[in-house]
């Protein structure tokens, strides 16, 4: 049974520059990468495939536009997860994909997954959007059960036992294949590939396909605004005693003590 790992080309939000005064968001300048939690999903897939047999394949539908820079980054992100031990990758890319909402993307990804895989692993939320909508929609599109927020996955014959972390309790569920599961950052420690593995990963199959929208989107982004957060950014100088005194004085003046 083969496993599909969903890897998104996300904006690196840490590196994304925004200008609070002009409200400009420098999206084109920011680098993109595979999300951190998708590395956890990759790690889990590599571990599970030893028990399930079969292959583990990364699937990415790039929504970053089809520029040369974004294409290069998408392939680098996939090489990164291939180096962790995946067997191959599929990159779907093309004009119009950037307008795709989760409805469109889920439909497009389902075409790539249906009849080919028995398990889909995703992250609980993507690095730049953190909604968790995509895996849920994909499960509904495929007609497969969906279990989110996995902190442990154990294979037991024709089903898996998933431990999941919810706000007020922890739950253990049993679910039959095929299934869609999203994982949290706590499920494992992703391995860091060695240089030789990265070199080898460049030779693994990376199948690039053209995107054509299967349906019209249901949602459009009208505007992106920069939230105004004004911080004073005052550095308190002095030795420990002085710094503590100065801080207390400042907090008194702020009226919060």
Ligand X SMILES: Nc1ncnc2c1ncn2[C@@H]1O[C@H](COP(=O)(O)O)[C@@H](O)[C@H]1O
Ligand Y SMILES: Cc1cc2nc3c(=O)[nH]c(=O)nc-3n(C[C@H](O)[C@H](O)[C@H](O)COP(=O)(O)OP(=O)(O)OC[C@H]3O[C@@H](n4cnc5c(N)ncnc54)[C@H](O)[C@@H]3O)c2cc1C
Residues that bind ligand Y (CB under 6 A): 35-37, 125, 127, 130
- Under rule CB under 8 A, residue 199 binds other proteins: no
- Under rule CB under 8 A, residue 251 binds other proteins: yes
What is the rounded CA–CA span in Å between residue 104 and residue 219? 10
- Under rule CB under 8 A, residue 223 binds other proteins: yes
Q: What backbone torsions phi and psi does residue 72 show, to the nearest 5 degrees?
A: -65, -45
Binding mask 136-175 for ligand X (x = CB under 6 A): ----------------------------------------
What is the rounded CA–CA span in Å between residue 147 and residue 166? 12
Q: Which of 3, 4, 7, 78 binds ligand X (CB under 6 A)?
A: 7
Q: What backbone torsions phi and psi does residue 108 show, to the nearest 5 degrees?
A: -65, -40
- Under rule CB under 8 A, residue 156 binds other proteins: no
Pairing of strands 146-156, 159-165: antiparallel
What is the rounded CA–CA span in Å between residue 132 and residue 174? 21
- Under rule CB under 8 A, residue 145 binds other proteins: yes
Residue nearest to ligand Y (CB): 36
Binding mask 44-83 for ligand X (x = CB under 6 A): ---------------xxx-x--------------------
Residue 69 touches which of other proteins, ligand Y, ligand X, none (CB < 5 to 8 A by kind)? none
* Angle subtended by helix axes 102-113 and 133-142, to nearest 10: 50
Residue in 164, 162, 123, 119 with CA at minimum distance from that of residue 142 = 119
Task: Give 6's strand partners.
Answer: 59
Interacting residues toward ligand X by CB under 6 A? 6-8, 35, 37-38, 41, 59-61, 63, 105, 122-123, 125-126, 129-135
């Amino acid at each position: 049974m083969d496993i599909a790992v969903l890897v998104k080309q996300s904006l690196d939000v840490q590196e994304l520059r925004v200008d609070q005064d002009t409200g400009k968001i420098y999206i084109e300048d920011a680098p993109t990468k595979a999300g951190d939690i998708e590395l956890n999903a990759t790690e889990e897939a590599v571990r599970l495939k030893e028990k399930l047999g079969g292959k583990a394949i990364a699937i990415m539908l790039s929504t970053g536009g089809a520029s040369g820079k974004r294409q290069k980054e998408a392939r680098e992100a996939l090489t990164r997860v291939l180096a962790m031990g995946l067997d191959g990758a599929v990159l779907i890319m093309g004009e119009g994909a950037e307008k795709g909402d989760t409805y469109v993307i889920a439909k497009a990804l389902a075409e790539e997954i249906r009849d080919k895989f028995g398990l889909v692993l995703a992250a609980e939320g993507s690095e730049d959007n953190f909604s968790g909508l995509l895996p849920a929609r994909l499960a509904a599109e495929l007609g497969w059960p969906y279990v989110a927020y996995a902190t442990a996955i154990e294979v037991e014959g024709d089903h898996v036992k998933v431990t999941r972390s919810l706000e007020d309790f922890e739950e253990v569920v049993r679910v039959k294949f095929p299934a869609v599961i999203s994982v949290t950052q706590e499920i494992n420690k992703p391995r860091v590939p060695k240089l030789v593995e990265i070199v080898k990963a460049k030779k693994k199959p990376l199948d690039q396909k053209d995107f054509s929208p299967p349906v019209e989107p249901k949602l459009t982004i009208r505007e992106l605004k920069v939230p105004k957060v004004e911080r004073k950014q005052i550095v308190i100088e002095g030795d420990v005693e002085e710094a503590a005194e100065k801080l207390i004085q400042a907090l008194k003046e702020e009226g919060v003590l």
